[in-house]
Amino acid sequence: MQNNTFNIGNFNANNTAVNLGGTVQGDQIINAPEQTVEVILADFKQFLNDLQQQYPNATDETALQVVDAEFTEMKRSQPWRWQNFLNLKRLWNGGKKAAFKVGEHYAEQNPLGKAAIALLEGVMEEPK
């Protein structure tokens, strides 16, 4: 048998059986809850609004460059946000037509939105 030595102040737990694990029954969920589609969609809309304010005169050509640069920076500095946008696009591709129609309708109203959707679609394509 192993001797356990554990002393803190006046508390002495020498040779005491220590069971730190205990018995756990039921389901344990250890992952943080994922953000809802509505929250991610709201963030995506805010992202587009911010770009629209920064680049109000963006053309289809420059919008693609702007969004590409923003996504590149996002992947580096906010990987969780990038993953949320990819997850949103995956949901769109997976048949979540309501979220797709709302996002697509909103995004198609300006060149930056079109560019963002195009880049997300390009990232989502599997290599051939």
What is the pLDDT at residue 119?
79
Q: Are 106 and 113 in contact (CB under 8 A)?
A: yes
Q: Is 45 helix (H, G, I), strand (E, B) or coil?
A: helix
What is the per-residue pLDDT across 8-53, written as a single tens digit (0 to 9) for each? 556 555 555 555 555 555 544 444 445 677 888 889 899 999 999 9
What does the pLDDT read at residue 60? 85
Distance CA 36, CA 88 (A): 10
Q: Rounded CA gap, 76 and 71, in Å?
A: 9
| The predicted structure's pLDDT at residue 3 | 55
pLDDT digits (tens, 9 = 90+) for 72-93: 999 999 999 988 888 877 766 6
Q: Does residue 5 carry a pLDDT above 60?
A: no
7-8/11-12 β-pairing: antiparallel
Quick one: pLDDT at residue 91? 65
Give the single-character DSSP code of 110.
S
d(C-alpha 22, C-alpha 83), whole Å = 36
Q: Name residue 11's beta-bridge partners.
A: 8
| Residue boundaries of the structural domains of the chain | 37-124
Is 48 or 97 the better-scoring residue by pLDDT? 48
Task: Write down the pTM of the prediction.
Answer: 0.49
User: pLDDT-derived band of residue 114, with 50, 70 and 90 as boundaries?
Assistant: confident
